[in-house]
Structure 1
C-alpha cells in the first residue's frame, strides 16, 4: 500500500533478494508508475553492487520494462550495470521492440506488458437513466480495491450528455434535464470535488458524442430539441472557446464517438427515420469527414471505445423505442483502421442499450445499460487475448446512458 514510503527507509535496502522479487512481482503494489518500481530496484542493487549484480537479470524480469519510457530504455542499454549482462540485454531488447513496433503489440503480450493495477487510473461512471428518471451520482471504480464508490453528484439532472477528461478533470457536456436540451458545460475536479462552470457550446445538444483528440475536445451531432444534428463543435482548452468544424455527412443522435490514430470516428446513431450502420471519420488536419466501412448492424445508443488499436462498437438498439420490433443488442464488433473493415467479437452476456464503454488496464469495460426491462447495474470486461467477457463488480446504482471515462490521477 505505502511502497513509495517504504523505499525511503534503510530497511528496504537491506531486504534479501527473494523479498525484493516478491515485491517486484506484485500486481497490487501501490505505485504511481512502473518507473518508480524500476528506480527502487536500481537503488537496491547499487546498495551492494558486487553481490547483487548477479541477481539483476532475474530481478529485472519482474519489472515491466515495455511500460517504461523509451528514452529511459535507450539510456539503459549502455549503462555499465547492463552492458555485459545477456539476460538484461534480452529484456531491454524485448521492451524496445514493444516501442518500435506498436502494430505488433497484440502479439507481444506477456506478464511484462500488463500494467500494475495502481498505474492505470480509475473508471468514473457519470449519471445516466435509472429507476428515478435519472441519477446525478458519479461512481468511481478502482482495480486495486475492486469496488465502486460514490464520489460526487452532478448539479441537477442530465440525460444523454457527454464527458471527456482534460488534465484529470471531468468535463460534462450538454444533455437534457427531462424537459430542455442544454448547451452548458461543467467541469468536475475529482481531487477537490469542486465544480466549475465552463463556457457553453453554441448549440444545445443531447444524444451527442464527446471525445478528446490531440488536445481539443469535440462535441459531435446529437439533437437540439427540434431536429437531428450533423454539426460538430470543438473546444480549444488554450483559448477556452468553442468553434464549429466541418459537419458530418449525416445527422446522428445517440451516436458513439471515439478517437483513434489521430482521427475522430462517429459511429451509428439515429438520423430521425432510422438507426444507422454507417460510420464516418474526421481528420482535424484537413477539416474533412469521410465515410468508412459500415458496421454489420444498425445501432443507436451504441457504446464506442478505442482498445488495443481497434475501435469497438458495443450494444445499442436497431430501431427507435416507439417501434415495437426494436431489438436491443448484445453484439460486439471491432473496426481495424488499417484494413477499413469490421469483424465480430464475442457478444455481451446480456443485451445492453446505452451502455458505457471504456478501457481500463488491459481490458475493455462495459458498464450498465438497459436490457428492455431494467436499468442494469451489472458490469463486464472484455479480454481481447481470449476474446471473452467476464463478469465484474456491479455499480451501486443501475444506470443506462452513463458516461464512463478513465482518469489517471497523480
Structure 2
C-alpha cells in the first residue's frame, strides 16, 4: 500500500534527454516509465522517442515512430499501449496518420488512419476504452468534426460533430463519462468562450455554459472533486492569468483565484495531494521559469519555486512516486533544450 510522507518542496535537475525537443508529448506508461515522443528539434520534426526510468533517473532511446511529428496527441490505452495521432508533419502539414507503441516489444506499428488530417486537436480515452478525437485544423480549415478509435478493431469511425469548430482547445473526461470541450480558436487568434459536452452513449454534443473568458492554448485539469480547472491561455488582449472552475453538477463556470503570472502554452498537473501545479509558459513579454500551486480548498494560488530553465511548449508528467517530471521546451533565448527537472511536492507516495 502506498503511504504519504512529508518532503521539502522544490525543483531539482535530473538527467537530460538524449535529444532536445519542443512541442513533444510525455506519457506515463503502466510500468511507471515515461515515454517521450516526437516534437520539434534543431533539425525539424522528430520521429525520435525515449524512455525515462524514475528509479535510475536515466534516459534510454527506443524505436523511432514511423513518421516524424510534433503537436500530436498521445494517449495511454486501457491495454497499456500508447496511441499517437496526427500533429505537424514535414514542418507544416497536418497528418492523418496514427500509430501504436507497445511497451513490452518496445516498437511502433501503424494503425488505422483518421478521417481527417489534424493538428491542434485533442484526444480523450473514454470509459469504454475508445479514443475520442476532436477538432483541430488541416487543409486550410478549422474542424468541428470528431471521430472515435476502437483499439480492438484499430478502425476510426466518425461520430457526432461539435456545435463549434475549434483548435487548440482542451478536452476533459468527467466522472460521469461525458467529455467537456472548452475554448480554442475559431479563427487565427480568435479566442472562443464556448463549451460543450459529448455523451459517449448517444454520441451527441450539447452546449453548456460559456467560459467567463474566451481562451486558447490554455490548460485544463480534472480535480479530485470532479470539477475542471481551466487556467491561462491566450485572448485577444494577450496571455491571461485568470482561471475558472466548471462544475458538472450545475453545468456552470465560476471564476476562481487568478495566477500570479499570466501564461499560455504552459502545463498543469494534478498532484497527489489534490493541488494543481502549473509550470512555465509564454507571458507575452517573455518565457517563464516560474511555477505555482492552486489549492482547491481555498481557491488561491501560491508560488511553487523557480525551474532551472525557462520553458514554453514543454511537457510534464506526474510520476508514480508523486514527483513531476518536466522535459524540454524552448528557453528565453529561443533555444530548444534537452534538459529535464523534477518537482517534489510536500507529499510523495512511497
TM-score between the two structures when normalised by the length of structure 2:
0.69
The SS at the match of 1:207 is coil
Matches within 5 A, 1:140-155: 155=65
Is residue 228–residue 245 contact of structure 2 (8 Å, CA) maintained in 1?
Answer: yes
SS in 2 for 1:342: strand
Tell me which residue corresponds to 2:184. 269
Q: Which residue of 2 aligns with 1:176?
A: 88
Cα deviations by residue, 1:303-342 (Å, 9 ceiling, x for unpaired):
12211211121111013xxxxxx41112211100111121
Distance in structure 1 (CA, Å) of the matches to 2:195 and 2:86: 22
CA distance in 2, matches of 1:352, 1:150: 29
C-alpha contact 1:127 1:399 (8 A) present in aligned 2? no
Equivalent residues in 2 for 1:154-233 (5 A)? 155=65, 157-166=68-77, 167-177=79-89, 178-189=91-102, 193-214=106-127, 215-233=129-147
Pair 1:285-2:201 in alignment: yes
Q: Distance in 1 between matches of 2:193 and 2:286?
A: 25
Matches of 1:120 and 1:395, distance apart in 2: 28
Structure with the bigger percentage of helix: 1
Structure with the higher strand share, 1 or 2: 2
Alpha-carbon distance between aligned partners in 2 of 1:150 and 1:374, rounded to the nearest angstrom: 30
> Gapped runs of 5+ residues in structure 2?
8-29, 322-350
- In structure 2, relative to structure 1, the CA distance for the partners of 1:276 and 1:128 (3 Å cut) is farther
Unaligned runs of 5+ in 1: 5-22, 29-118, 320-325
The answer to whether the 8 A contact 2:133-2:147 is kept is yes
User: How many residues are treated as equivalent by the alignment?
Assistant: 288
Q: Which residue pairs with 2:222 in the alignment? A: 306
Closer, same or farther: CA 270–243 of 1 in aligned 2, 3 Å: same
What displacement does 1:352 show?
2.1
Contact 1:163 1:211 (C-alpha < 8 Å) held by counterparts: no
Cα deviation 1:32-80 (Å, max 9, x = unaligned): xxxxxxxxxxxxxxxxxxxxxxxxxxxxxxxxxxxxxxxxxxxxxxxxx
SS in 2 for 1:201: coil
Larger radius of gyration: 1
Say if 2:234 is the partner of 1:317: yes
* Contact 2:126–2:132 under 8 Å retained in 1: yes
